[in-house]
Amino acid sequence: FGDRFEIGPLHPRICEMEGGRFRGLPLRTHQVDRGRLENELARRCERAGVAQRPGTRVDEVRVGDAGHTVLMSGDHGGELSARWVVVASGGRSAGLAIERRSLDHRVRAAWTRVEGDLDVGSWSTDPGYAGRTLDGLRRFSTNHLMGPGYWAWVIPLPTGVTSVGVVTAPDTSAAPPRDYAELLDWLRPRDPRLAAALADTRPVHDDFHTADLDAFRADRCFHPHRTAVIGQAAAAVDVLYSPGGDLIAVGNTLLADLIERDLAGERIAGRCAVADRVFGGFADGLADVYRGQYRHFGSPSFVATKVTWDSALYFGYHTLLFRHGLFGDPDFLTAVAPEVRAVQGLQARVQGRLRDGNFVPLVDASAGAVEWGAIDWLMAP
């Protein structure tokens, strides 16, 4: 049922404006437990013959024209020879200089899991709210509870637990909690409905996490001497809309194309430069979606307009190019360069207006509900 956004006030109704799809999306959507996904990917890699070396640390990477040497220590220490070396996690690797560029955006997060289901659809007795969808369907969405300077997520997982988290912008909201008791205290004045629901549940033992995220991207990700930086080592911007998966998809796709061309004997210096421009521009554009906007998250009109615009650009531009294999195609990008610049300029202006709170509403949120999935031009195939 896609993403759903619920915005205060907190009493007496659950929200002023609810976004999402009330009867089901025309697009197939899924809730993915990232831990289970990564374990399955590891099993598939193993079946395909990929050697995995857990408990092992890379101590040094010696880059050479003919090939690279990787020195390791730990459970599977030793020396490896490789034509390509790719850094995909952490962001620091001995022997590879990874220069980071700040994207001028920072958030802090705290998250945990609780036993059982939290059904946000049961938290209100308002007939209008209850009548917009069938009982129990709201829990199948990725539920976002929005407020000034923060948002919280409530996501049911297939293991019978619910993931709950809070994300704040340091310049607009108090610091997030450091343990479960502090989480309840933090939520009570901001979202008492979520605080009350959590007070009646039991947290999964030893499963409370916090993190600070300073948005960044690597200055250069793809090198003609056959090294690359992808994944969380290449860029991180925010967690709203889960852009990490998009950054991974774009980076991996660009890299796979470079490796295939290199193995086929092509010179890849020009392609590396194009891939760097594409990935860097994508990360920069994502950061602009979040920078300076958390303070408006308590406004139904703002959230309705922002999510509608962001979704339109995502599906109508980025996803369209990616699914047709055109994201890093230099010939195509050259041919449509004027159109790309026009889209980028429009995006910068819209995000600037949103940041300033000086925007023209795209949809009417005054009735208390906006159904994203019913907007024809947004969901048209």
Q: How far is residue 31's CA from residue 19's CA, in Å, rounded to a whole number?
A: 18
Q: How far is residue 240's CA from residue 163's CA, in Å, rounded to a whole number?
A: 15
pLDDT of 225-248, one tens digit each?
A: 999 999 999 999 999 999 999 999
pTM to 2 decimal places: 0.90
Alpha-carbon torsion 133, 138, 144, 148, what sign?
A: positive
pLDDT of 126-176, one tens digit each?
A: 777 777 776 777 777 788 999 999 999 998 888 889 999 999 998 887 777
- Report the mean per-residue pLDDT for the chain: 87
Instruction: Give the sheet arrangement for strand 56-62, strand by strand.
Output: 56-62, 68-74, 78-82
pLDDT of 336-362, one tens digit each?
A: 999 999 999 999 999 999 999 999 888
Sorted by where each starts, the structural domains of the chain and their CATH numbers stand as 3-33+106-212 (3.30.70.2450), 57-82 (no CATH), 83-100+218-379 (no CATH)
Q: To the nearest 10°, the Cα dihedral for 307, 312, 317, 318?
A: 30
Q: How far is residue 234's CA from residue 216's CA, in Å, rounded to a whole number?
A: 8
